[in-house]
Chains A and B, each alone.
Chain A
Amino acid sequence: MGILGFIKSQLIDIIEWMDNSNYTLVHRFPDEDHEVKNGAKLICRENQAAILVNEGQIADIFGPGTHTLSTQNVPVLSRLKGWKYGFSSPFKVDVYFVNLKQYIDQKWGTANPVLIRDPEFAVGGRPGRVRIRAFGSYNFRIAEPGTFFKELVGTQGMYTTDEIEGYLKRMLVGKFTQAAGKSEISVADMAGHYSVLENVVKGDIAEEFKKLGLLLTSFVIENISLPPEIEKALDAAAAQSARGVDNTLAWEGMQAMRDAAKQPGGGSGVMQAGMGMGMGMGMGNMMGNVMAGAMPGYPPGYPPQQGYPPPGYPQAQQQPPADDNSLESKLRKLKAALDAGLLTDEEYKAKRTKLLDAF
């Protein structure tokens, strides 16, 4: 290379960039301190845009096609450079290529469980809450190269999806959490309403993405899952329903007995005995509760039990055993008849004398 070749090599006359990666969003054309020749060709491939940056300030933005860099088609740069009557000398400018293609199959997922309200999990007047996890994928592309460049790229020579992935993921998870919380869709019904949630997230995040010059082209929820213990309980409830069992306590008792039966003998005897005692006590309690409604308290004449009734509990007055044939009983009944006016004094005295004589 001679001197003229050396000088020529300092001038850039073709500016283009071929992207072989699937992750490069922005790439600065490596000018190696060379200047751009007047009339140089700027070639933007399909799905590419080029941004001319003059001393840190965005000048002109070009879309796909071949552009000849002259005063006519770099109006902003001409103004920034102060070219009034056209330029002929080479000029220094930074050229950034921006990939406008779609970046597909970007992954998102909740790092931690998200707490949402779910009326189906409400118990005893307390609001139902449940923790869910979710994951899926999304596609995006750069919609406004200038905005994206201003907001995120700055002076970096190369900007990849890795650098923005974490931020976008956090934004998406945040919006998904809001959407799931506000949707008032039970977790059990969410599987049938993924598209509703997806559209809500897409709508909510559109503005945030626009501020960054991005467009969310697709947001897919692949799965929403519950904590393992809740999933297990739901499976058990489904199995109970499938067997046509209506009583949960009885179902659990049956399950426990079945599990106990599966246990090998030997060392499990103590456990089985304990389980049998527990079940016996449980049945005793159930029986007691049933009987309590029908037979409140002990029957008359039943000997008082130790510790029952508790102190202060009103006790029934103890009655002496009745004996209708005794003299005392007959005399009492006779006196009661006199007091009631059923007998006159003479009749009372005559009967009383007769009883005493017979005695």
Chain B
Amino acid sequence: MEQRQSSGGLTLEEVDVFARGLYYLASVDNHLDDREVKLIEEFLAETGSQLTLAELGQRQFSLYEAVQVLETTYMRRIFVKAAIALVYSDGVYSDEERRALGAVADVFGLSNTEFGDLEQEARRQGLQ
């Protein structure tokens, strides 16, 4: 299957999973901050995705679908890092958010140590 590349070097499938996954994780504590919303909308625009924020809220995010689309360990690590950076962007890292991120890391086959390292790296790099 030919994969179409988006401007960010991601396939459209990957952009779709990234967008829905990030929206799901940012709103898992029933609190979607304006900054988080802005970052996700910006991501959709930059990648040329046809998805809207409203559609993201309506569509289900499946961890198993994410595992299938994000095949490489590297892409999985980027997804987790980006998600951690996103949920940190509002200054709140709730228990629900951490549990949800931990579940994603588990499904992706990342160890607790790797997850801890990713948390530190993501916090250090951050999203401005």
Task: Determine if B82 is an interface residue (Cβ-Cβ < 8 Å).
Answer: yes
Which residue of the partner chain B has the closest CB to A88?
Answer: B3
Q: List residues of A whose CB falls within 8 A of some B CB.
A: 1-4, 6-11, 32-33, 35, 37, 88-92
- Taking a contact as CB atoms closer than 8 A, the residue among A2, A8, A11 that contacts B42 in the complex is A2
- Taking a contact as CB atoms closer than 8 A, the residue among B3, B74, B81 that contacts A90 in the complex is B74
Which residue of the partner chain A has the closest CB to B118?
Answer: A33
Name the interface residues of B1-15: CB closer than 8 Å to any CB of A: 3, 7-10
Residues of chain A within 8 A (CB-CB) of B22 are: 3
Whether B8 pairs with A35 at a CB distance below 8 angstroms is no
Q: How far is the CB of B89 from chain A (nearest CB, A)?
A: 9
Which residue of the partner chain A has the closest CB to B72?
Answer: A89
Task: Determine if B75 is an interface residue (Cβ-Cβ < 8 Å).
Answer: yes
Residues of chain B within 8 A (CB-CB) of A32 are: 121
Name the interface residues of B109-128: CB closer than 8 Å to any CB of A: 121, 125, 127-128
Whether B81 pairs with A10 at a CB distance below 8 angstroms is yes
Query: Among A7, A32, A33, A91, which residue has the most Cβ atoms of chain B within 10 A?
Result: A7
How many pairs, one residue from A and one from B, have CB atoms within 8 Å of each other in the complex?
56
Whether B43 pairs with A2 at a CB distance below 8 angstroms is yes
Query: Among A1, A3, A9, A37, which residue has the most Cβ atoms of chain B within 10 A?
Result: A3
Q: How far is the CB of B16 from chain A (nearest CB, A)?
A: 14
Whether A6 pairs with B72 at a CB distance below 8 angstroms is no
Q: Can you sample 10 A-B contacts with CB below 8 Å?
A: A2-B46, A3-B39, A3-B85, A4-B8, A7-B9, A8-B9, A11-B9, A33-B77, A90-B9, A92-B74
Whether A3 pairs with B78 at a CB distance below 8 angstroms is no
Query: Among B18, B71, B78, B85, which residue has the most Cβ atoms of chain A within 10 A?
Result: B78
Q: Mark B63-99, 1 if CB is under 8 A from A, else 0.
A: 0000000011011011001100110000000000000
